[in-house]
Amino acid sequence: MSLKHEVEKRRTFGIISHPDAGKTTLTEKLLLFGGAIQMAGAVKARKATRHATSDWMKIEQERGISVASSVMKFNYRDFEINLLDTPGHQDFSEDTYRVLTAVDSAMMVIDSGNGVEPQTEKLMEVCRMRNTPIVTFINKLDREGLEPLDILTEIEEKLQIECAPLSWPIGMGKAFKGVYSLYKKELQLFKAGADSNHFETVKITDLNDSKLDELLGTQAAELREEIELLEGAANPFDLDHFLKGNQTPVFFGSAINNFGVKELLDAFVELAPAPGPRKAEERTVAPDEKGFSAFAFKIQANMDPAHRDRIAFFRICSGKFTKGMSVRHHRLGKDVKLANATVFMAQDRAHIDEAYAGDIIGIHNHGTIRIGDTFTTKEALKFTGVPNFAPEMFRRIRLKDPMKRKQLHKGLIQLSEEGAVQVFRTLLGGDYILGAVGVLQFDVTVERLKTEYKVEADYTATDFQTARWIESDDEKKLAEFKRLFEHSLAEDADGYLTYMAPSVWKLNYTIEQWPDILFHKTREQV
């Protein structure tokens, strides 16, 4: 099969949502359709155990499963799908953001009762960096929720993306009758307790068809009215707008009842893009180029902490991966053999012989791979767009045994290279400040310092709430800024100057006051 064909049949995506919107439930239904799991409850069970604790050793025990479930590969129709997990509850972290730099599209799940929630807003911001196309699923229509039109307005306003409904719900909660697909011109009738193989689907090409009245009673008139309103007010779906990330097609359903999920998946594989070109510092790389190229976007420490064994997740950008192939590790300027690459299934992992653009492979290593590293067959390339994200939480680290300063430094640098946490040293005093976007990372870091580096440490609070990397062409202004803000400045692990602010308000105020200084929310890996 040609490279082009392999690329075209792949879909690589992540789900963005706020906790409890139904991501796990929807994932499970998608995997059932793909035949990747046989039984409902499998993903759910995993989530329950993952939730139960933030204790690191327990997390370790769970790891065998959680590594495998970071990427879920399944087939649906003629498509090969890579669904990348975006950790969302206590395990929300920078990884969640970074996973989104490795996908070609995203599915956004919104709880119809809550509308747009904060975590979705944050994740959407990351999607916007690369104009990632987004398909929206409004979930839990079997419950009373917000009016569908109000949800669309909220999405448009809060997320700054145009909505194009491709399905429309008929009632909600107890009065939920089903959805009318504007995409397929058919009516799907909801029956509580049924599953997707037993929902009745009726072709209705003309909304004035009297069949509609027979099936929906008085709700038929409401549907007609709403669709008419939509036709006047809503935006028609425009594939090009969607692919540019300016418009999102919207579907309605109930994940737990498996209602509307198949329609979502069908439209998704048809509309969402195959792996596309990827920017490197030197040039843009096309997915069907012959030469293999990939970058590491996630690193996960392995079960056995004594060996510092890690799995680096590579997103393949072009060419073909074959088992045992040699590739150049450009940051180190060394050739490495990719002997035992792993592909991840829903509940399992398997060694693979070949993979293509869009696929995710796991490579075992002993700390030689960092996030953002590029690998190619020959050509010197450095992919961009896999940045560090400004932390949102901070802790000052306190070493219990001052003689262990060196080990602490080494441990923190290595953990930051894995992307587990970001490390800053204050310009005044040289204290270590850890920054993260999810609170669990702090627990994980002290626990790993103890078990892997034999360093006992704990935390004290800081006054910081937000940070930005700063730079300026105006050296005088930068020097003045450094003098005035020396208590709030630090260098990150790669020596980049960082401003830490006690509040978002103070940050915005400072940005306003210092127009010659650039404040960056992300920083590209070196």
Looking only at the bridges linking them, the beta strands covering 247-252 and 278-279 are unpaired
Among 7, 21, 72, 265, binds ligand G4P (CB under 6 A): 21
What's the min distance (Å) between Cβ of 130 and ligand G4P? 23
Q: Is residue 24 close enough to count as binding ligand G4P by CB under 6 A?
A: yes
Of 268, 249, 255, 266, whose CA–CA distance to 14 is shortest? 268
Q: Is residue 256 close enough to count as binding ligand G4P by CB under 6 A?
A: yes
- Of 16-24, 66-74, 374-382, 415-423, the window that binds ligand G4P (rule: CB under 6 A) is 16-24
The identity of residue 367, as a single letter, is G
Q: Is residue 17 close enough to count as binding ligand G4P by CB under 6 A?
A: yes
CB nearer to ligand G4P: pick between 133 and 253:
253
What's the min distance (Å) between Cβ of 256 and ligand G4P? 4
CB nearer to ligand G4P: pick between 144 and 281:
144
Among 8, 9, 19, 153, binds ligand G4P (CB under 6 A): 19
What's the min distance (Å) between Cβ of 513 and ligand G4P? 40
CA distances from 53 to 47, 60, 236, 454, 468 (A): 11, 11, 46, 23, 31
Give the number of residues in contact with ligand G4P, rule: CB under 6 A: 17
Q: Is residue 66 close enough to count as binding ligand G4P by CB under 6 A?
A: no
Q: Which residues of 435-449 are buried (b: 16+ CB within 10 A; e: fewer)?
A: bbbbebbbebbbbbb
85: which DSSP letter?
A: P
Angle between helices 56-68 and 42-51 (to 10 degrees): 160
Looking only at the bridges linking them, the beta strands covering 326-329 and 374-376 are antiparallel
CB nearer to ligand G4P: pick between 107 and 470:
107
What's the min distance (Å) between Cβ of 497 and ligand G4P? 37
CB nearer to ligand G4P: pick between 257 and 318:
257
Q: Is residue 255 close enough to count as binding ligand G4P by CB under 6 A?
A: yes
CA distances from 31 to 39, 74, 345 (A): 10, 7, 10
What's the min distance (Å) between Cβ of 195 and ligand G4P? 12
User: What whole-number distance in Å separates Cα of residue 110 and Cα of residue 431?
Assistant: 41
CB 314 within 8 A of CB 295: yes
CB nearer to ligand G4P: pick between 33 and 394:
33
- Following DSSP, what letter does each residue of 208-249 receive, concatenated? T-THHHHHHTTHHHHHHHHHHHHHHHSPPP-HHHHHTTSEEE
What's the min distance (Å) between Cβ of 51 and ligand G4P? 9
User: What whole-number distance in Å separates Cα of residue 259 and Cα of residue 264?
Assistant: 10
- Of 22-30, 78-86, 185-193, 225-233, the window that binds ligand G4P (rule: CB under 6 A) is 22-30
What's the min distance (Å) between Cβ of 125 and ligand G4P? 19
User: What whole-number distance in Å separates Cα of residue 410 and Cα of residue 395?
Assistant: 18
Among 10, 11, 16, 23, binds ligand G4P (CB under 6 A): 23
Quote the strand ranges of 86-185, DSSP E: 105-111, 134-139, 162-165, 167-170, 178-181
Would you mind telling me the total number of residues written for the chain in this entry?
Answer: 526
275: which DSSP letter?
A: P
CB 27 within 8 A of CB 15: yes
User: What whole-number distance in Å separates Cα of residue 486 and Cα of residue 147?
Assistant: 51
What's the min distance (Å) between Cβ of 48 and ligand G4P? 8
Query: Site residues for ligand G4P, window 366-405 (CB under 6 A)?
Result: none
CB nearer to ligand G4P: pick between 258 and 525:
258
Quote the strand ranges of 302-455, DSSP E: 310-318, 320-322, 326-329, 334-337, 342-344, 349-351, 354-356, 360-365, 374-376, 388-389, 393-399, 422-426, 432-436
Among 96, 139, 188, 498, binds ligand G4P (CB under 6 A): 139
What's the min distance (Å) between Cβ of 18 and ligand G4P? 7
Among 85, 94, 104, 142, binds ligand G4P (CB under 6 A): 142
What's the min distance (Å) between Cβ of 46 and ligand G4P? 11
CB 96 within 8 A of CB 127: no
Q: Is residue 271 close enough to count as binding ligand G4P by CB under 6 A?
A: no
Looking only at the bridges linking them, the beta strands covering 71-76 and 79-84 are antiparallel
First-last CA distance in the chain: 37
What's the min distance (Å) between Cβ of 89 and ligand G4P? 6
Q: Is residue 449 close enough to count as binding ligand G4P by CB under 6 A?
A: no
Among 3, 9, 20, 459, binds ligand G4P (CB under 6 A): 20
Q: Which residues of 462-499 are buried (b: 16+ CB within 10 A; e: fewer)?
A: bebbbbbbbebeeeeebeebeeebeebbbebbeebbbb
Q: Is residue 452 close enough to count as binding ligand G4P by CB under 6 A?
A: no
464: which DSSP letter?
A: -
CB nearer to ligand G4P: pick between 20 and 156:
20
Among 6, 10, 16, 22, binds ligand G4P (CB under 6 A): 22
- Of 175-183, 249-257, 342-350, 487-495, the window that binds ligand G4P (rule: CB under 6 A) is 249-257
Query: Site residues for ligand G4P, window 25-44 (CB under 6 A)?
Result: 25, 44
Placement of tokens 């699923």 in the chain: 137
- Of 138-146, 198-206, 210-218, 273-281, the window that binds ligand G4P (rule: CB under 6 A) is 138-146
Q: Is residue 122 close enough to count as binding ligand G4P by CB under 6 A?
A: no
Per CB under 6 A, residues contacting ligand G4P are 17, 19-25, 44, 139-140, 142-143, 254-257
